[in-house]
Structure 1
Amino acid sequence: MSKAARERSARERLAAERKRQEARDKQRKLLAIVLGAVVAVAAVVVVTVIVLDQRGKSDQKATAYTGPQAPLTRDADGSIVMAKAGVTAPTIEIFEDFQCPACKSFEESTGKKVKELAAAGKVKVVYRPFHLFGQSQNPIKENSLRSAAAALCVPADKWLSYHDALFKFQPEEGDEGFATKELVNWGKDVGVADAGFEKCVTDQQKKSQVDTMTTYALQTRKVTGTPTVFLNGRKLEDNELGSPDGLEKAVSDAAKTKTNQ
């Protein structure tokens, strides 16, 4: 190959390489633009999600329960009793954890019927909240403890409203929730005016009582999951818990049994 031919070939290779380099540069620039756009969109999405999440939390305002119910009192052990004067049986005991999704489902499906039966004088109801998830990982463990301790800070006459709010605003499994500020605000929303309420919630002053109630549930009553509901000491089956009619029939049968004894 002549010198001129070699030079021409070299120029052609150089020109070809420059074209390839230019093409690669264009691809990199295009990729940078695309990636920049993706990052920008992702940032907008993240900001939007955060804003909506915060807006959703700010909209979580609890409301006072105004439906049927019987008078509420608190026993020395922290449990809440709902019953008309003189009604001592049949007795429903509800062991629940405010972080428990199944408990929320029970409240949504059958909670109203529980209140109606008590208001009609057909049953005595004992609510026994406790800390089921004490051995679980966070955040579910702390969610469970904070909500149970806060509920024990609420006066008996406001407790049912607060109880319902905790289930209404129950965080998703795996999400951190029941923040101290929220727990305090929900109490104020439903009319808790006690001067010591906020400090009680903030300092978890009822933690030791929650621990005692948890020991009673797990060790004395052998509760292994929630919700666990006893009727005159008998653990109710899922078909009795899952529907208002099933629960009402169980209560009616228990009342007949007591009458016939």
Structure 2
Amino acid sequence: MSKAARGASVRARIAAQREAERKQEQRRRLATIITVVVVVLAVIGGGWWYAAQQSKSETVAGGLAPVTVQSDGTAVMAKAGVTSPVLDIYEDPQCPICKQLEEISGPTIKNLAAEGKVKVVYHPLTIFSQEPTRSNSLRAASALRCVSDGKQWIAFHDRLFKEQPRETVEGFKIDDLVKWGHDVGVTAPGFDSCVKDQTQQAAQEQFSTKTLQDQKLQGTPTLKLNGQQIDNNTIFVPSALRQEIINAGK
């Protein structure tokens, strides 16, 4: 083999070796990138899973704590002898965010009351000023005032949120309210006429105006624990809400 040929052969081997090293380095880099991506995705996925677990709604474990309807239209849910901490819930039956709160954190609140860890006070309000939401809210909240039995009150309260109409349509019609009351077991002889005549409408309007002013409420839902408003980032995370209430009782 000539000197020139030998030189060409050496250069070819060197080039091939360099190409092999370059491809090997590429494979190492790709493997590193894939590993990093997998780790990041695992961390993100774990974060999503943790967040999902934290925000997961409870189910009502068993029987509810006794409910007592007050003369002002509020209702107290608490086991005998439980006086603190006090959780005040300001809500409007026509408020979509209130419906979400009931769906997400309502079971947690009921469970805590049944466990004897909190005294819950429901304040049904009418906060809307425009139609048809104002009239919808007034009809529903006034009908709720027609229920004096505590067990029936909470059942009707929950049914109202379940049947909540869209904000742009007329809903909570009188005949429907009467029917839903019967569906959940309201048996008081004066219930039908109270709802149909909207006997409690004036009282509901006065109560709402006074409560909004006295409590300086900016909207609903508003939850106060021992008089202090709970952050919205907490009230829609059942596990966080549970912990805050438990901590307040220590």
TM-score relative to the length of structure 1: 0.71
Q: Structure 1: any 5+ residue segments left out of the alignment?
A: 1-64, 257-261
| Structure 1 counterpart of 2:139 | 146
| Structure 2 counterpart of 1:38 | none
Matches within 5 A, 1:39-50: none
Pairwise CA RMSD of aligned residues? 1.4
Q: Structure 2: any 5+ residue segments left out of the alignment?
A: 1-59
| Structure 1 counterpart of 2:107 | 112
1:162–1:104 CA distance, 2 compared to 1 (3 A) = same
- State the Cα distance separating 1:241 from its structure 2 match: 0.4
1:88 to 76, 83, 90: 83
Letter in 1 for 2:205: D
* CA contact 2:126–2:141 (8 Å) conserved in 1: yes
1:205 to 193, 199, 204: 199
Partner of 1:153, secondary structure, is coil
| In 2: Cα distance, 1:175 partner to 1:147 partner | 14
- State the Cα distance separating 1:157 from its structure 2 match: 2.3
Letter in 2 for 1:191: G
Report the count of equivalent residues.
Answer: 190
Range that drifts further, 151-160 or 122-131: 151-160
| In 2: Cα distance, 1:151 partner to 1:69 partner | 19
2:162 to 164, 168, 182: 168
1:170-207 per-position Cα deviation (integer Å, ceiling 9, x unaligned): 00120111000000000000111111100000111111
| In 1: Cα distance, 2:190 partner to 2:249 partner | 41
Matches within 5 A, 1:184-199: 184-199=178-193
Letter in 2 for 1:192: V
* CA contact 2:69–2:153 (8 Å) conserved in 1: no
| In 1: Cα distance, 2:182 partner to 2:173 partner | 15
1:67–1:180 CA distance, 2 compared to 1 (3 A) = farther
| In 1: Cα distance, 2:173 partner to 2:209 partner | 25
1:73 to 51, 68, 73: 68
Answer yes or no: is 1:225 the counterpart of 2:219. yes
Letter in 2 for 1:218: L
| Structure 2 counterpart of 1:100 | 95
| In 2: Cα distance, 1:102 partner to 1:121 partner | 27
